[in-house]
Amino acid sequence: MSNIYQRIIEDGEHHQIRLVINEFNGVEYLHLRKYYLSFDEEWLPSGVGISFALDLQNSKELFIGLAEILSLAESKEIISTYFKELLQEIYEK
């Protein structure tokens, strides 16, 4: 089993969250998993995470979900940047 793709999403001192795609028995899987630093200073996957077969439908739904999350995050940033003073006035009342 070899990794086709790997990206560290969160990098802490003793843990990481990784997005990994690998192939097993001819099927590609996507993993979003927490890794921990072993006593031998090697990053190892923990049991905390999720894995699923990577196919067109799953990829499409994942992309839609991530696009919606990015849109919400961008909206929150725009609102807090341009309407910060107004929001503070509203919540102070």
Per-residue pLDDT tens for 5-44?
999 999 999 999 999 999 999 999 999 999 999 999 999 9
The per-residue DSSP string of 29-93 comes to EEEEEEEEE-TTS-EEEEEEEEEEE--HHHHHHHHHHHHHHHHHHHHHHHHHHHSHHHHHHHHH-
User: In the prediction, which pLDDT does 93 show?
Assistant: 60
Cβ-contact 16, 41 below 8 angstroms? no
User: In the prediction, which pLDDT does 44 show?
Assistant: 95
Cβ-contact 30, 58 below 8 angstroms? yes
User: In the prediction, which pLDDT does 45 show?
Assistant: 94
- Mean per-residue pLDDT of the chain: 90
